[in-house]
Amino acid sequence: MSGSIFGKHFTISTFGESHGPAIGVIIDGCPSNIPLSKEDIMKNMVRRKPGNAKIATSRKEDDDVEILSGLFEGKTTGTPICLMIRNTDHRSHNYDAIKDIYRPSHADYPYSMKYGNRDYRGGGRSSARETAARVAAGSIAMRFLEEMGIHFKAYTKALGPISVSDEEMNLNEISNNLLSMPHAVKAEEAINYIGQMKTEKDSIGGVIECQITGMPVGIGEPVFDRLDAILGQAIMSINAVKAFEVGSGIASAQMKGSEYNDAFYTHTAPQYGENGHESHGFVGTHYKTTPSIHKRTNHSGGILGGLSDGSPIVLRAHFKPTPSIAQTQHTINTHLENVDIAIEGRHDPTVVARAVVVVEAMAALAIADLLLQGATSKLEQVKAAYCK
């Protein structure tokens, strides 16, 4: 396999170039009897394409997902689910100008070297269009995990220089702005900043944070398939992500053990205080399997030794700015000559707005996979699965 397959238990296999006939995904390993409708998928597909001229490209695709298999009478059957999305808005001719040019910070150059060919039409597999298949598959993972009591919430933590601190966050604001930013004023500021980038023919990076609640304890496999390692792969595999953090993340490296360590306490004996578990902007740190156990803080981001500890997972993805900018840039062409290029056309000044749901999707795919693996950790679990 060549990298288009993710997951060993809840396995997805994606296909499609931005300018081919269609893109899509097969999900193999999804349990049967999960209620599923097309609407469960489409509500996330819509989130991936804000369609707002201020922050997004004018490329308009219906992104209508067709369910080709694996669903019968409104439930998953347990066999592979194939989801297909036709590419309806090609405009391949737009790409003629860059046909012979290796665009700076794009994948053109290494792709050409790797495969000995050049699909110049919009980046082929390296195009962000490919994330549509991830969102479609992730929607099914989220639907499954919802049945297990697990919920995902991602939002824009920062857009270039404009960031929302933990203390300022108001998760209710997320759905009120196109950037899914948990702060009304900053969201407006950020959208104006994006407008400024458009004027300057420039682009900007940003940070997306995701909280995952309702986790069972013990999800993740020791050593290489730790929950944070697989989340790391999943998130780092998203176009334009250059850094990944869990819990206190980067900040951990400057902390002392006495600051960092998350103290356990029991609910029934609250002598150590209760407000600690409200850190990171969310309320109600608790363990599903043992509701009486709390942590005062969550610097670990819900993961201990690579396994979920029952408290909310908190992760962050750092996105670089969109590489396509209309400013003139120095680069080379396929004839190895120095040339200048200005990349005109529809290009988002930031990927952040559309990537919020992609982060949720990838986190859900990683967790669905490890949750299925974890279901056979103990002999007792295996017996429970087979005995009536």
* Interactions with a second copy, residue window 37-56 (CB under 8 A): none
Confirm or deny that 125 is annotated as ligand binding: yes
Based on CB atoms, which residue is closest to a second copy, 285 or 373? 373
Q: Which stretch binds a second copy (CB under 8 A): 56-64, 89-97, 120-128, 170-178?
A: 120-128
Residue 321, SS3 per DSSP: coil
Candidates 61, 119, 173, 209; binder of a second copy (CB under 8 A) is 119
DSSP-assigned beta bridge partners for residue 307 = 304
Q: How far is the CB of 258 from a second copy (least distance, A)?
A: 5
Question: How many Å apart are CA 307 and CA 177, to the nearest integer?
Answer: 34
Based on CB atoms, which residue is closest to a second copy, 17 or 63? 17
Q: How far is the CB of 295 from a second copy (least distance, A)?
A: 8
Question: How many Å apart are CA 76 and CA 30, to the nearest integer?
Answer: 8
The contact pattern for a second copy, residues 336-365, with x = CB under 8 A and - = no contact, is: xxx---------------------------
Q: Which stretch binds a second copy (CB under 8 A): 47-55, 157-165, 174-182, 184-192?
A: 157-165
Place of tokens 């929607």: 139
DSSP characters over 85-111: EE-----GGGGGGGTTEE-TTSSHHHH
74 part of the interface to a second copy, by CB under 8 A: no
Candidates 172, 199, 254, 275; binder of a second copy (CB under 8 A) is 254
Contact predicate 100/106, CB 8 Å: no
Candidates 41, 84, 136, 313; binder of a second copy (CB under 8 A) is 84
94 part of the interface to a second copy, by CB under 8 A: no
Q: Which stretch binds a second copy (CB under 8 A): 26-34, 39-47, 54-62, 165-173?
A: 26-34
Count of all residues that appear for the chain in the document: 388
Q: Which residues contact 133 (CB under 8 A, 6 or more apart)?
A: 14, 15, 16, 23, 24, 25, 83, 85
Question: How many Å apart are CA 123 and CA 323, to the nearest integer?
Answer: 12
Place of tokens 């910070």: 105
Give the phi and the psi of residue 316 in degrees, each rounded to 5. Answer: -135, 140
The contact pattern for a second copy, residues 283-322, with x = CB under 8 A and - = no contact, is: ------xx-xx--x--xxx--xxxxxxx-------xxxxx
323 part of the interface to a second copy, by CB under 8 A: yes
20 part of the interface to a second copy, by CB under 8 A: yes
Confirm or deny that 320 is annotated as ligand binding: yes
Per-residue CA distances from 87 to 23, 24, 369, 383 (Å): 7, 10, 29, 46
